[in-house]
Structure 1
Amino acid sequence: MLWKKLVQFGKGFFERKEESTSTDMPLGTAMHNIEITRGRGGQLARAAGAVAKLIAKEGKSATLRLPSGEVRLVSQNCLATVGQVGNVGVNQKSLGRAGSKCWLGKRPVVRGVVMNPVDHPMGAVKGKPPLVEKKPTTPWGYPALGRRTRKRKKYSDSFILRRRK
Structure 2
Amino acid sequence: MPLGTAINNIGITLGRGGQLARTVGAVAKLIAKEGKSATLKLPFGKVRLISKNCSVTVGQVGNIGVNQKSLGRARSKCWLGKCPIVRGVVMHPVDHPHGGGEGRAPIGRKKPATPWGYPALGRKSRKRNKYSDNLILRRWSK
Q: Same fold, TM exceeding 0.5?
A: yes
**Distance in 2 (alpha carbons) for counterparts of 1:133 and 1:92:** 38
How far does residue 127 in structure 1 lie from its aligned partner after superposition? 8.1
Distance apart, 1:129 and its partner CA: 7.7
Kept in 2: contact 1:52–1:66 (CA 8 A):
yes
Q: Secondary structure at the match of 1:120?
A: coil
Q: Give the CA deviation at 1:164.
A: 2.9
Corresponding residue number in structure 2 for 1:48: 24
Determine the C-alpha separation between the residues in 2 that align with 1:112 and 1:122: 5
Question: What is the distance in 2 between the residues matched to 1:98 and 1:45?
Answer: 30
Are residue 121 (structure 1) and residue 97 (structure 2) matched? yes
Gaps of 5+ in 2: none
Pairing partner for 1:82 from 22, 47, 58: 58
Contact 1:115 1:123 in 2 (8 A): yes
For residue 95 of structure 1, what is the amino acid of its counterpart? L
Larger Rg: 1
If the length of structure 2 is used for normalisation, what is the TM-score?
0.90
> Which 10-residue stretch deviates more, 124-133 or 44-53?
124-133
SS at match of 2:65: helix
Q: Determine which of 106, 114, 130 is the counterpart of 2:106.
A: 130
Give unmatched runs, 5+ long, in structure 1: 1-24
SS at match of 2:132: helix
Rounded to whole Å, the distance in 1 between the matches of 2:103 and 2:124 is: 27
1:82 partner amino acid:
V
Report the AA paired with residue 140 of structure 1.
W
For 1:70-126, what per-residue CA distance to the aligned partner results, in whole angstroms no more than 9, with x for missing partners? 110001111111111111111222223212212212121000111000111111156
Stretches of 4+ moved more than 2 A in 1?
A: 125-135
Could you tell me the TM-score, scaled by structure 1's length? 0.78
> What residue number does 1:98 align with?
74
User: Could you tell me which residue of structure 1 aligns to residue 116 of structure 2?
Assistant: 140
2-side partners of 1:35 and 1:105: how far apart? 27
CA distance in 2, matches of 1:118, 1:104: 29
For this pair of structures, how many residues does the alignment match?
Answer: 141
Q: Secondary structure at the match of 2:77?
A: helix
For the Cα contact (< 8 Å) 1:48–1:85, is it kept in 2?
Answer: yes
Specify the alignment match of 1:66 in structure 2. Answer: 42
CA distance in 2, matches of 1:147, 1:96: 36
User: How many percent of aligned residue pairs carry the same amino acid?
Assistant: 75
Q: 1:73 and 1:159 mapped to 2: Cα distance?
A: 5
Quick one: distance in 2 between partners of 1:128 and 1:145? 22
| Paired residues of 2:98 and 2:108 also in contact (CA < 8 A) | no
